[in-house]
Structure 1
Amino acid sequence: YRQGGPVIAVQVENEYGSFNKDKTYMPYLHKALLRRGIVELLLTSDGEKHVLSGHTKGVLAAINLQKLHQDTFNQLHKVQRDKPLLIMEYWVGWFDRWGDKHHVKDAKEVEHAVSEFIKYEISFNVYMFHGGTNFGFMNGATYFGKHSGIVTSYDYDAVLTEAGDYTEKYLKLQKLFQSVSATPLPRVPKLPPKAVYPPVRPSLYLPLWDALSYLNEPVRSRQPVNMENLPINNGSGQSYGLVLYEKSICSGGRLRAHAHDMAQVFLDETMIGILNENNKDLHIPELRE
């Protein structure tokens, strides 16, 4: 921003206070950004109960929350009392996990919370204004006692729908912002056109087993290596996706493994079962000649 660009602030990390495994990590990141010439506003963002463990000296601490309550800023005030209040993420909805019900949040509750932010002169970001879609492997997962995959949609019950349509939340916030704005708000854009696409049937495909000969040389190891530690991509491993592990066996028996998050098990190119958090054992049938 100081050089004429659009970047006004840089977040050092996101919610590291929820983990806080390494006390030197946050100060290291802070210094690394400064050494690389980042001179814009630096900040951290943590849940209201994790500010003390996620904040680092010399940066602005911000919080993420679902609603205001009496103790919202207790930890924040312990690390800074002379700085502006910033809610980095005000959650107007929530993401969905496979097997759960779709999360929704009442528009009146959102309107009331934002009214309180304005009343007490608290800066805030709406999360999410538009959630959109988790393409490819970007959906991720959570682990609160058990592994739960996030669904492909990141609609989030956000201010705009996944398709970009206006919601009751949008209209209420628009009316609220207009009531405190010194100038008229911009005109609302027209909604994007919608279309129904016919089913697509692939006429040609290449099975995994036929594709292997066209791929790079396999990594050989006596022990299974998790994808992040594979010696590929200039030592960076693989961040997400699929990995094929192969092992030659001479008899049936039992396969035991703790797979994160799921492993499909094949015997001679035929799937025989799935390993996951709830199923760590699999029967391997006797081999046929």
Structure 2
Amino acid sequence: MTTFSLGDTDFLRDGQPHQVISGAIHYFRVHPDLWQDRIRKARLMGLNTIETYVAWNAHAPRRGEWDTTGWNDLGRFLDLVHAEGLDAIVRPGPYICAEWHNGGLPVWLTGSMENLRSSAPDFLVEVSAYLRRVYDIVAPRQIDRGGPVVLVQIENEYGAYGADKAYLEALVAVTRDAGITVPLTTVDQPVDQMLSDGSLPELHKTGSFGSRSAERLATLRRHQPTGPLMCSEFWDGWFDWWGGVHHTTDVTAAAADLDALLAAGASVNIYMFHGGTNFGLTNGANDKGRYLPLVTSYDYDAPLDEAGTPTEKFFAFREVIAKYAPVPEEVPAFASAAPALEVSLSPVGAWTDAAGSGAVAAQPQSFDALGHLSALVRYDVDLPDGKGGQLLIDEVRDLAWVSVDGVAVGTLSRTRHDRAIRIPAGRTLSILVEDQGRVNYDHRLGEEKGLIGAVTLDGTVVTGWRSTPLDVAAIAAELASAQPTDAAGDGPLAWTAEFTVDTATDLFLDTAPWSKGYAFVNGFFLGRYWRNGPQRTLYVPAPATRTGGNRLVVLELEQILAPVARFVEAPALGVTEE
């Protein structure tokens, strides 16, 4: 039986000092058929451990559900880590941030209670049930039972959110009661208040930072007088948001900071080793005064890029790690260029025309009230006396397309802080609202989506709204076999194309000729695209393709500038900062 414990200055593996050199891979951001490849490449960079969050809302998107199959098979992921000869760190939250929608918390949970991430009894009931299910998977895979798991984290950067010690104590009690015997950790940024608020004396404190390693380790040591020092989130890159730039970090500087950590004897978890992708509608959002939805790619400028190809940072980090630990002689091969091809898109008709199919209520119903987990709700209402005027909405979450009698009027954007638009006279007002991603940080967790509050026209409240949920994945599936039509012009149209590849392979779909919408290959939901950038290509993982004929479905919300689908040789994630 192998043991793993905390010593006075180091982690102890079978009683001997051990430096954890870990990298983050989120199983829920990587196609499961590619897990083994990414884990193997982590070993080839010199890592001895893989860390992953657990996304509660991936396993339980609706109350009463619990899915551990396919993409959610955490047990299989951990078994693959073990088969590669690596250890594992599990961070089940319940809150994970991770630029993942709603910070990993299920919408049904955050919409049903106010006291999130606290010792409130109703919250603890749900969290305890969730953690017990996770630990049913993790407990038998701990290192002292022949598995890979060496550390389990309690909560996540809690000191940046609250200071409810009773809450942390409850999480520890559930964890230990569930049979978790490995050391328990917490993580916070190396700020005195956060380190103090976010942990307990019996929990091992670690830090999260990406630079000034010596200074930040010193701060951490003041709060963690004994035991191993660890940066359990060494930020080697950053995430991107729509309308911004593609973030990268200097390779030499990142490698130097990693070197400083390891030279100090500290353990490290590189966040991220391989970022992966926010497939489907799983991207989060930030809002620190301005709402910024995050892009589909989670490349993160990591050592292994979004498609699993080693980068310059991979080899720089590998060279650093080799100074402190054995590194395999084998190196992963560079990927060859992806197939480049172009095919014509054919329109198959309008896809958001859902008037008349929703329930009528006095006020617009939020996504949450409708129990809707997809991207769009269409709101329709008869205009009082057919009059136009100034339309004022308390709050739009997050982007709305406004039309009268089917004629586009304009858009209202949460990012732009829009609330008002002048509309012409007509019979029917329609507002199509997109949830662009749920905020994954701080006290905006769980906020409702849709048209929020009152809607007035020249000061008079407009009532009698029909609220119709639109499930974009279901719509794409219905249209996958649709025949081309003569549909043309502006506005939401669905498009399809057939393309052929010689063998299943990674592809990069160039979305530059399109405006805004969603793309699917053989029913696989690649994610969102938007001319707002910076991201220009969508990653198509090889397991989503097939030898011979393949089917592309594009649900365009605005207009296709050129009716073509181009697949290019390499990803294009946008311009970077100088």
TM range (shorter): 0.7 to 0.9
Aligned mates of 2:173, 2:346 — CA distance in 1: 51
Per-residue deviation, residues 21-77 of structure 1 (Å, max 9, x unmatched):
866543343333334443333222222222223224432222110112564146534
Aligned-partner Cα distance in 2 for 1:117–1:263? 47
Alignment of 1:100 onto 2:234: no
**1:280 corresponds to which residue?**
419
**Aligned twin of 1:252:** 388
More strand by share: 2
Report the equivalent of 2:69.
none
Match of 1:204, SS? Answer: strand
Which shows bigger deviation, 99-108 or 268-277?
268-277
**Measured at CA, do residues 78 and 231 of structure 1 come closer, stay the same or move farther in structure 2, by a change above 3 Å?**
farther
Aligned-partner residue type, residue 424 of structure 2: P
Name the aligned partner's letter for residue 230 of structure 1: A
2:335 to 192, 196, 202: 192
Whether the 8 Å contact between 1:130 and 1:159 is mirrored in structure 2 is yes
Question: Can you give the 5+ residue segments of structure 1 that lack an aligned partner in the other structure?
Answer: none
Q: What does residue range 1-289 of structure 1 map to in structure 2 within 5 Å?
A: 1=142, 2-20=144-162, 24-49=166-191, 50-68=194-212, 71-73=215-217, 76-181=220-325, 183-193=326-336, 194-199=338-343, 201-202=345-346, 204-205=348-349, 207-210=351-354, 213=357, 218=358, 221-227=361-367, 229-230=368-369, 232=371, 238=373, 241-250=375-384, 251-253=387-389, 254-277=391-414, 278-288=417-427
Corresponding letter in the other structure for 2:157 = E
| Rounded Cα–Cα distance in structure 1 between residues aligned with 2:200 and 2:312 | 38
How far residue 8 of structure 1 moved from its aligned partner, in angstroms, is: 2.7
Q: What is the aligned length?
A: 278
Structure 1 residues 288 and 14: CA distance shift in structure 2, 3 A? same
Q: Which amino acid aligns with 2:388?
A: G
Distance (Å, rounded) in 2 between the aligned partners of 1:267 and 1:21: 50
Is the Cα–Cα contact under 8 Å of residues 209 and 269 in structure 1 kept in the other structure?
A: no
Q: For residues 202 and 332 of structure 2, what CA distance do their matches in structure 1 show?
A: 41
3-state DSSP class of the match of 2:273? coil
Instruction: Give the structure-1-normalised TM-score.
Output: 0.81
> What's the CA shift for 1:129?
1.6
* 1:257 aligned partner, one-letter code: D
**1:184-236 CA distance string (max 9 Å, x none):** 514112233422243462553561225985xxxx5665444543x4263xxxx
Does the CA-based 8 Å contact 1:160-1:166 persist in structure 2?
yes
**Alignment gaps of 5+ in structure 2:** 1-141, 429-578
Counterpart code for 1:265: V
Q: Please name the residue that 2:81 is paired with.
A: none
Amino acid aligned to 1:252: G
TM-score (norm: length of structure 2): 0.43
CA contact (8 A) 1:63 1:89 kept: yes
Name whichever of 246-255 and 101-110 sits farther off: 246-255
Q: Secondary structure at the match of 2:171?
A: helix
Deviations 1:122-181 (A, max 9, x none): 100111222233222222211222111222222222212223332222112222222333
CA displacement 1:104-135 (0-9 Å, x = unmatched) = 21111112111111111110011122223322
**Contact 2:213 2:261 (C-alpha < 8 Å) held by counterparts:** no
Going from structure 1 to structure 2, the CA distance change for 1:99 and 1:161 (only over 3 Å counts) comes to same
Q: Assess if the C-alpha contact under 8 Å between 1:104 and 1:157 holds in 2.
A: yes
Q: CA deviation at 1:91?
A: 0.9
Assess if the C-alpha contact under 8 Å between 2:402 and 2:408 holds in 1: yes
Write the letter of the residue equivalent to 2:375: G
Q: Against the structure 1 CA distance between its residues 130 and 205, is the aligned structure 2 distance closer, same or farther, given a 3 Å change threshold?
A: farther
* Counterpart-to-counterpart distance in 2, 1:69 and 1:184: 23
Deviation of 1:88 (Å): 1.0
Shift of 1:247: 3.7
Match of 1:142, SS? strand
2:184 aligned counterpart, secondary structure: strand
Pick closer, same or farther for the CA change 1:72–1:191 going to 2, 3 Å: same
| Distance change (3 Å), C-alpha of 1:33 and 1:63 | same
- Measure how far apart 1:99 and its partner are: 2.6
What's the secondary structure of 2:255's corresponding residue? helix
Q: Confirm or deny: 8 A CA contact 1:258 1:276 kept in the other structure.
A: no
Name the SS for the 1:82 alignment partner: coil
* Aligned Cα root-mean-square deviation (Å): 3.0
Cα gap change, 1:146 to 1:108, in 2 (>3 Å): same
Which whole-Å CA distance do the structure 1 matches of 2:232 and 2:199 have between them?
A: 14
Percent identity between the two aligned chains:
32
Does the aligned pair in 1 maintain the 2:355–2:380 contact within 8 Å? Answer: no
Contact 2:305–2:311 (Cα < 8 Å) also in 1: yes
The answer to whether the Cα contact below 8 Å between 2:214 and 2:261 also exists between their aligned partners in 1 is: no
Shift in Å, 1:103:
1.9
Counterparts in 2 of 1:286 and 1:155: CA distance versus 1, 3 Å: same
Letter in 2 for 1:242: L
SS in 1 for 2:410: strand
| Partners of 2:166 and 2:146 in 1: CA distance | 33
- Cα–Cα, structure 1 residues 38 and 93, in superposed 2: closer, same or farther, change >3 Å? same
